[in-house]
């Protein structure tokens, strides 16, 4: 019962204290939290998102530089409940799983490059006369496939090695080419396997 009351009290604090309406005031003011939230968003937009620990550390360092007291000096980071309340006060931020993106693709993934690509695309389909013919607009992508299944956790005997019998210890990669057009038509996939000999041209 006591734990439930504490959680309700914490939730109420998250919703109201940043507006300075009731309850214990927040350590950072609304203006200061907005500045911190903008910094976190800007890092995420350029491919360097913060995890929970990063945000808590940033909040502590920000408070120290501003001469603001409230966070525990021994831990040198903002608290767990502060982070939960901070996220509730800033609904534009969310904890999610980040996708890996190589630097070359990240450099191309900006507004100017994307607009430039679509301008060139529109010019090309207009010159080809297929702008209004979706059946002639195709998208093709490739992916690598391993012929050996990925190792997974299994139940074995304590003190003895456990093996999963496969055709080879190390797999070989095959390439699959998949195509689909703008009306949903798709030909059979093209599978490219490793060649046994290099053919002479």
Q: How confident is the model at residue 196 (pLDDT cuts 50, 70, 90)?
A: confident
- In the chain, how long is the greatest CA-to-CA distance? 81
Measured CA to CA, the distance from residue 24 to residue 79 in angstroms comes to: 15
Question: Which own/partner contact pairs does 86-92 have at CB distance under 8 Å and 24+ positions apart?
Answer: 86/33, 86/37, 86/55, 86/59, 88/14, 88/15, 89/14, 89/18, 89/33, 90/33, 90/34, 90/37, 92/37, 92/41
pLDDT value of position 161: 60
Measured CA to CA, the distance from residue 52 to residue 54 in angstroms comes to: 5
**Percentage with pLDDT > 90 across the chain:** 28
Instruction: Convert the pLDDT of each residue in 37-51 to its tens digit.
Output: 999 988 887 778 888
* Across 96-123, average pLDDT: 78
* Across 154-174, average pLDDT: 62
Q: How confident is the model at residue 156 (pLDDT cuts 50, 70, 90)?
A: low
Name the residue ranges covered by the structural domains of the chain. Answer: 2-89, 100-132, 134-148+169-193
pTM: 0.48
């Amino acid at each position: 019962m006591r734990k439930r009351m504490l959680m309700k009290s914490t939730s109420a604090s998250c919703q109201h204290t940043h507006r300075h309406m009731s309850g214990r005031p927040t350590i950072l003011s609304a203006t200061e939290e907005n500045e911190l939230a903008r910094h976190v968003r800007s890092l995420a937009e350029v491919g360097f998102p913060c995890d929970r620990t990063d945000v808590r550390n940033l909040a502590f360092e920000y408070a120290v530089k501003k001469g603001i007291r409230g966070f525990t000096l021994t831990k040198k980071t903002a608290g767990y409940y502060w982070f939960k309340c901070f996220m509730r006060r800033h609904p534009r931020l969310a904890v999610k799983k980040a996708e890996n993106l190589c630097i070359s693709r990240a450099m191309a993934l900006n507004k100017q490059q994307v607009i430039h690509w679509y301008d060139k695309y529109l010019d090309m389909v207009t010159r080809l006369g297929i702008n209004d013919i979706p059946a002639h607009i195709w998208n093709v992508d490739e992916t690598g496939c391993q012929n050996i299944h990925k190792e997974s956790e299994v139940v074995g005997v304590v003190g003895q090695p456990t093996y999963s019998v496969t055709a080879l210890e190390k797999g070989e990669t095959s390439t699959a080419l998949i195509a689909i057009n703008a009306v949903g038509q798709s030909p059979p996939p093209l599978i490219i396997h490793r060649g046994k000999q290099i053919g002479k041209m």
